[in-house]
A and B are shown apart, each in its own frame.
Chain A
Amino acid sequence: MSTLEVSNLNDGTKTVATTVVTNGSAKAYVHGDTTASISKSFNVSSGTDHGTGDYSYSLVSAMDSNNYSMPCCVRSGTPDRNARRNVARDTASIMAIETSNARTNSPTDQVQNATTHGDLA
């Protein structure tokens, strides 16, 4: 195995420190449907539908802890739908998303998008 250690990367116009790329790259992302079926993903092995508005996705390569950042949102044509991180279910190897209806303050199935930033284990 060969390793190339680089301090800065340049595409001819823009220079970025390699530490920005390694620290800032999404370590996983997922576009899951209303049953946790995966439409598009990276570093995600499977999705689980735990019930209405309650989803989780298992990572192929785990994060170093569950302290990672995981912004998420829904893809919906209906107003008042939103997504949040489910801190009761997430772990270093599981992304957990909950979706709901703000108008009724209740869980509802939604298509979700989430990305994970942090360090791999």
Chain B
Amino acid sequence: MSSTLTVTNLTATNLTDGAGTTSTFANVASGTAKAWVNFDGTGTIAARDSFNLSSLTDLGEGRYKTTVSNAMSGTSYMVLATAGNELSDYATQNDTDDHIAFLGARTSTEQSVFSADHDDGIQDDCQAMNLSVFGDLA
């Protein structure tokens, strides 16, 4: 027989899944990304999919700003960013599509991220920017 119990607030020290694997709640809460996005950074930039994202801003060639809906607790959080490309583009030294992602300044709600050419370091729009944010929400 299946059953469902619905509660609003649950206080727990450990969480155990159906297979018996236990994690401390602190690990689950701290290890969860508080925001993430996959966006097209070319032309009119747009998110393909996201979580806790309020907006994307195009700051110019290869320069972007992500804004989260729910703010982080400060500015000392961690951001992971990666550019997405096709392998053949840098294998053939295609200058227009061989990017590396860089992180810039941030606030509790905004993250600057850049994309530059692999071969010459010049900022350039990227077709698939991937970004995840870890830390504590405000």
Is B one of A's binding partners?
A: yes
Residues of A within 8 A of B (CB): 1-12, 14-16, 20-21, 23-26, 53-54, 65, 67-73, 82-90, 98, 100, 102, 105-107, 115, 117-119
User: B6 and A5: CB pair below 8 A?
Assistant: yes
Least CB separation from B89: chain A residue? A88
Tell me the complex Cα distance, A104–B88, Å.
15
* Contact across chains for B99 and A84 when beta carbons are under 8 A apart: yes
Q: A68-B49, A69-B131, A86-B84 are in contact. Are A106 and B9 (CB under 8 A)?
A: no
Q: Of B84, B91, B93, which one neighbours A84 at CB under 8 angstroms? A: B84
Partner of B87, one of A8, A20, A88: A88
B108 contacts partner chain A, Cβ-Cβ < 8 Å: no
**Considering residues A3, A9, A72, A106, which has the most beta carbons from chain B within 10 angstroms of its beta carbon?**
A9
- Chain A residues near B88 (CB, 8 Å)? 88
A2/B36 in contact, CB under 8 A: no
Q: Which of B6, B35, B49, B132 contacts A65 (CB 8 A)?
A: B49
> Could you say which residues of chain B place their CB within 8 Å of the CB of A72?
82, 130
Cross-chain pairs A/B with CB under 8 angstroms, 20 sampled = A2-B3, A4-B4, A4-B10, A5-B7, A6-B8, A9-B12, A9-B29, A10-B10, A12-B11, A14-B29, A24-B32, A25-B33, A71-B82, A71-B132, A82-B118, A98-B87, A105-B119, A107-B87, A115-B80, A118-B36
**Are B85 and A85 neighbours in the complex by a CB distance under 8 Å?**
yes
B34 with A20: CB separation less than 8 A: yes
- Chain B residues contacting A9 (CB-CB under 8 Å) are 10-12, 15, 25, 28-29
What string of 1s and 0s marks CB contacts (under 8 Å) between B20-64 and chain A? 000011101101111111100000000011111000000000000
B residues whose Cβ falls under 8 Å from a Cβ of A: 2-13, 15, 24-26, 28-29, 31-38, 48-52, 80-88, 90-91, 93, 98-100, 118-119, 127-128, 130-132, 136-137
Contact A20 B49 (CB under 8 A): no
Most chain A CB within a 10 A radius of its CB, from B34, B49, B93 = B49
Are the CB atoms of B91 and A107 closer together than 8 Å?
yes
With A and B bound together, what is the CA distance between A84 and B3 in angstroms? 44
Known: A3-B4, A5-B4. A15 touches B91 (CB 8 A): no
- Bound-state CA distance A89–B128 (Å) is 13
